[in-house]
Amino acid sequence: MANIYLKVPTAVAQWYRGRYRTPALGEMEAVELSAYQDEMAIISADIMLVPERQMDHTLCFSERMWRNILNGRPPQGGKALLKRDAQDWPTIEEVNFLTDAVKTKKSDGYDYLCIAAPKQIVLDGRYRSVTTSYTLTQPGASQLAKCMRTEFIRVMLHEILAEIALNDKRGIKRDVMSCIDRFFYRNNMCLGTNTKDRDSMRRMATRWMGEARLLGQDVKDEYVLHVYEKEQEQQQRMDVDVLIEEVKNEKKRKSAS
């Protein structure tokens, strides 16, 4: 089975490797996506045969290109420019060097994620086998990276907000940062070995939570906010039941005293 190697934020790469898996996948192991996931739909629609010499971006590499990188060669092949062990996962600095990519302040926050490509795709009405020379175009790679980042944020916010709500219901006072750290732990994420990375991730998570709350407060549609007669009747019955229960409890307390 062929793989592709997509450039994503480090946190996203770690989350996909550790999602539903204990221990987490190694960096060299491919993340297998379901055919019904949005991510795989993007891959199947965009993946194509790209000869190494024709590669014109660094957002996604084919397996053949990645092997060149592992051996210290540019993804297009040629003479080795770095002496390195092909069994070691390349750093983002090594990839930038081999691709002549311009380093930015955000470069350190990225990694490449190994993803299992589909075995076959439909192209021009025919089934074609996906080989080790297949990869994504630049628009497709950008769309996939954005989709994976969105999915990571969505699940992260859902789990953290659900934990906060459950803690409030049980009377447990747990700060947001602890909930974020617990999310990292549950998903086998190694963030935290580097204090700078963890602090950066905490700040991003806090900002995303703020945005999520704003979205929730933005609902003003009259159809959404309208309370139907049946719902009013149910609420009234609930209120009466609560009052009756309170009266019963008050009588029991008086009898006991």
DSSP designation for 192: T
The average pLDDT across 216-238 equals 52
Q: How confident is the model over 40-61, as pLDDT tens digits?
A: 999 999 999 998 888 889 999 9
Q: What percent of the chain has pLDDT over 70?
A: 79
C-alpha span between 8 and 114 (Å, rounded):
10
CB 62 within 8 A of CB 114: no
CB 112 within 8 A of CB 70: no
Q: How confident is the model over 100-131, as pLDDT tens digits?
A: 887 776 777 899 999 999 999 988 888 999 99
pTM: 0.78
